[in-house]
Structure 1
Amino acid sequence: MNVIKKLQTIPFISKFFLNHYSPYKGAGIEIEKIDLKNYYVRVKMPLTHKNQNIVGTHFGGSLYSMIDPFYMLILMHHLGDKYIVWDKSATIQFLLPGRSTVFADIRLDFAEIEHVKSLAENFAPVHRSYILNIFDESGSRIAEVHKTIYIRRKKPRAFQR
């Protein structure tokens, strides 16, 4: 494993890099907790002039952006280099205007990782769908995100053409 990949497995280093990632820093998005080993990430975004829309509520693109890569990152961490993992599609439904700090908890579990491995065992593409809610400080659900992730086990080199 190269040094960069090894460093990315250390939670506070991953958190540091993600919190300084330009699109996140620009939108005021903050990774509060990253625990890839335990299949969990918590993200927050306060409402600021950097991420509000013309009517003074959270910009929809920033709401989606705050949760975008995390299912893919958790899956990549647990599946390893023998799998291809890509975001396939996503939709977001805005339920209420976001007028305060918003939060999202991204979770998977051991059973899901094992299920994905069993589905991908024969090298066929696997599409997994996940639903995630974004909440405001009062606990109101302000958005629902549906993500579809493409996963495929890589074929051994001898089988690749």
Structure 2
Amino acid sequence: APAALLRVQRVLDHVGQAEAINPRDPELNLVRGFMEWGIASNVGFVSMDRAIQTLQTYAAPNYLSYRGLALAYRDRKQWPQALNAVDQALALAPNNPELLYLKAQILAASGNRSQAKQYFQQAIAKQNQLPRGIREEIQQFSRRIAPQG
């Protein structure tokens, strides 16, 4: 844990240096928004509102900022907002299997298991585009909901 904290501190130092140069840089804000989401989701030192604000304000490319927003809303169990964000991401990157998987997760968590299965199947059909760990995760998640709906 101490080594991880040192690495996090170094990353935050570099982010601070980049912000001093251009606080509105879209890629910087994308990274910062995802970092804030991860910290808010896992540790709670940062407000999820802050992550959402960062991703909404200056982050780009848009399909990734919408993906981050969908993750944040998913973690808050704000299903309509999560679906809206993932749908906006999919409008920009309709063949992205991670986005299809994210939509399936949101649909399953919100109780729409039959529609979720369709998105899981679409994501699995494009699994060759994904790293092995994500492929396995999608398949496990898909199997978990299969008997229930």
TM-score by length of 2: 0.29
Q: Which has the higher contact order (CA 8 A, sep 6+)?
A: 1
User: Hey, which of these two has a bigger chunk of strand by percent?
Assistant: 1
User: Hey, which of these two has a bigger chunk of helix by percent?
Assistant: 2
